[in-house]
Amino acid sequence: MSDRSYDHDIIATGVMVHGIRLHQDVLAQRKIDSDFADSLQEKVDACIALDIEQETLKALLKEKTAEAVAKREEMRKQAAEARKIIKMDIAQALWREFGIEDKR
């Protein structure tokens, strides 16, 4: 497993593609030619696009998590209000019908 970061790998590979293009004449005899460079550049571009998409999804997830936490808090407050009223107005023997397990 590599200890280099994802961004470092993308940048380093992009630099490599540039170097391959500059020295194609020497590397072509080992089948590292313009097709190879094009293929590698496509992978770099795909990694960049996927990284952007992933970061966008992470941001969206944070937004949705905050939304869910806020909605849960609203739900808890409303349920607590209902619980107080139920406990005051309904006989203790019937509390279980409301999901209340408390004793006075």
Q: Six-digit token pair at 59?
A: 């941001």
Asked whether the predicted pLDDT for residue 97 surpasses 50, the reply is yes
User: 51 Cβ partners below 8 Å, 6+ apart?
Assistant: 6, 7, 10
Asked whether the predicted pLDDT for residue 1 surpasses 60, the reply is no
pLDDT digits (tens, 9 = 90+) for 53-80: 999 999 999 999 999 999 999 999 999 9
Asked whether the predicted pLDDT for residue 89 surpasses 80, the reply is yes
DSSP secondary structure letter of residue 23 = T
Write out the H or E segment, with its range, that includes residue 21. helix 6-22
pTM: 0.69
Within 10 angstroms of residue 20's Cβ, the number of other Cβ atoms is 20
